[in-house]
Amino acid sequence: MPHDHHDHDHDHDHPHDHGLSPSGHPYRQDDDAPLTYWQRMEIAVRELLIEKGVTTAAEVAAQIDLMDSRSPANGAAVVARAWTDPAFKARLLENAGDASREMGFDIGPLHLIAVENTAQAHNLIVCTLCSCYPRNLLGLPPDWYKTRAYRSRAVREPRAVLAEFGLNLPDSTTIRVHDSTADMRYIVLPARPAGTDGWSEVDLATLVTRDSMIGTALPRSPQTVAQDG
Amino acid sequence: MGGDEAGPVPMDGHDFALWEKRVDALMVLCSSKGHFTVDGLRRALEDMGEDAFEKHSYYERWIAAVNQNLIEGGVYSLEELATRMEAVAQRGTTYGEAAHGAQPHSHDVHDHDGHDHD
């Protein structure tokens, strides 16, 4: 637990101070906006759960910290290793969950399937039911992933959706759309960009974006990286 | 929903607010402790009807689904929820104030805190 849970409790001169939340996080901007019905419900539910002994404030804070520690950088490291280590890549395609755990990522019981982009086929992931996403590896999904528009259209007209993301694939490329469930989630293993021969695993990981692991983009190219400085 | 017609994909994003992260945490914790399943959550979400997707944000729908499953599971009663939500409303007009008022309840190690929340 990186947060100090005590200091702010002694600030009696400022009972409504906006320094740290009860979980030790800085208050965010919305804390100054009028309290909504749903925020009241969250506070009430959380307090009742704590009083009933279902959970504790510390446990809630720890869970938030755990989710905050998960990010696309974890997936990028997995992809970069697959690009440089053929034996690891084979294990990743066999069982992406175990391969991620092997790299030390705490992904819980996540059942993860890696789908590989090739010269012939491009993969795209979606959850048409709700918002299933490899969150235990990549963190919380982007807002657009949870929208009706993406969930409805990704399976109906994936090429048009990809074009909205700026990805125009040739008609000769097969597009495979993978519909996630809570029990089975996907990650795209993008193709290693050309012009990266001899790159280290760490440098390669900088090319792997979140969207390239969802399939709405390709990894960055060495040229793009050079332009961005 | 999958296969339905829909407009362009909205690309706007936002940073998650603390209350949203807490909803997420409660969902994960209660689920891992067996108080409901993802299927129970999804049933509650789908029972809200299609217009809930237009009227309410993602985590608004999720706290509603979490709450419904906890009440159905007997973890607390509808009356307990209503009473607490009213008490929360009395603490202040912002999330920061309302959540801060929960300190003596949620941090039992801080009983010396001594705030008067009435």
> pLDDT tens, A113-164?
999 999 999 999 999 988 899 999 999 999 999 999 999 999 999 999 999 9
What residue segments make up the domains of chain B, in order of their start? Answer: 18-24+36-102
The alpha carbon of residue A117 is apart from the nearest alpha carbon of chain B, in Å, by: 23
Task: Tell me what the mean pLDDT of segment A194-199 comes to.
Answer: 96
Give the pLDDT of residue A24. 60
- Residue of chain A minimizing CA distance to B113: A9
Indicate whether A8 pLDDT > 50: no
Indicate whether B81 pLDDT > 80: yes
Q: Do B53 and A5 touch (CB under 8 A)?
A: no
Q: From CA B101, how far away is CA A118, in angstroms rounded?
A: 55
φ and ψ of A124, to 5 deg: -135, 135
Q: Do A52 and B35 touch (CB under 8 A)?
A: no
Cα–Cα distances in angstroms (integers) from residue A92 to residues A84, A86, A100, in the given order: 12, 10, 8
Q: From CA A131, how far away is CA A176, in angstroms rounded?
A: 19
Any chain B CB within 8 A of the CB of A18? yes
A93: which 2 tokens? 């395609």
Are A122 and A173 contacting, i.e. CB atoms less than 8 angstroms apart? yes
Q: From CA B21, how far away is CA B39, in angstroms rounded?
A: 21
In the residue annotation, A100 being an active-site residue is answered as no
What dihedral do alpha carbons A135, B66, A31, B91 form, nearest 10°? Answer: -160
Give the pLDDT of residue A23. 60
Q: Which residues pair with B66 in a beta bridge?
A: none
What dihedral do alpha carbons A82, A83, A87, A92 form, nearest 10°? Answer: 20
Confidence of residue A196 (pLDDT cuts 50, 70, 90): very high
Q: From CA B72, how far away is CA B29, in angstroms rounded?
A: 17
Q: Do A21 and B75 touch (CB under 8 A)?
A: no
Q: How many CB atoms within 10 Å of residue A57?
A: 22
- Residue of chain B minimizing CA distance to A68: B21
Give the pLDDT of residue A33. 77
A114: which 2 tokens? 């890696």
Confidence of residue B55 (pLDDT cuts 50, 70, 90): confident
Confidence of residue A20 (pLDDT cuts 50, 70, 90): low
Choose which CATH entry (3.90.330.10, 3.30.420.40, 3.40.50.800, 3.40.50.720) describes domain A71-228.
3.90.330.10
Between A78 and B37, residue with greater pLDDT: A78
Give the pLDDT of residue A5. 43
Confidence of residue B49 (pLDDT cuts 50, 70, 90): confident
Q: How far apart are the first and last CA of chain B?
A: 47
Task: Tell me what the mean pLDDT of segment A96-107 comes to.
Answer: 96
What residue segments make up the domains of chain A, in order of their start? Answer: 16-68, 71-228
Q: Of A21, A23, A71, A131, which residue is the catalytic one?
A: A131
The alpha carbon of residue B34 is apart from the nearest alpha carbon of chain A, in Å, by: 10
Give the pLDDT of residue A68. 94
Any chain B CB within 8 A of the CB of A53? no
Give the pLDDT of residue A139. 95
Confidence of residue B1 (pLDDT cuts 50, 70, 90): low
Q: For chain A, what is the mean pLDDT?
A: 88
A162: which 2 tokens? 């990809």
Q: From CA B43, how far away is CA B37, in angstroms rounded?
A: 10
Indicate whether A35 pLDDT > 80: yes
In the residue annotation, A132 being an active-site residue is answered as yes
Indicate whether B35 pLDDT > 50: yes
In the residue annotation, A221 being an active-site residue is answered as no
Q: Which residues pair with A34 in a beta bridge?
A: B94
Task: Tell me what the mean pLDDT of segment B43-66 comes to.
Answer: 88
Give the pLDDT of residue A183. 83
Q: Give me the residue from B9, B11, B88 closest to A44, CB to CB.
A: B88
Indicate whether A4 pLDDT > 80: no
Confidence of residue B85 (pLDDT cuts 50, 70, 90): very high
Give the pLDDT of residue A27. 53
Tell me: the pLDDT tens digits for B6-26? Answer: 888 988 888 899 999 999 999
Any chain B CB within 8 A of the CB of A46? yes
Task: Tell me what the mean pLDDT of segment A46-68 comes to.
Answer: 97
Contacts for A114-119 with beta carbons within 8 Å, 24 or more apart? A114/A82, A114/A186, A114/A187, A114/A188, A114/A189, A115/A176, A115/A178, A115/A186, A115/A187, A115/A188, A115/A189, A116/A188, A116/A189, A116/A191, A117/A188, A117/A189, A117/A190, A117/A191, A117/A215, A118/A191, A119/A191
Cα–Cα distances in angstroms (integers) from residue A24 to residues A46, A50, B6, B41, in the given order: 16, 17, 41, 29
Any chain B CB within 8 A of the CB of A52? yes
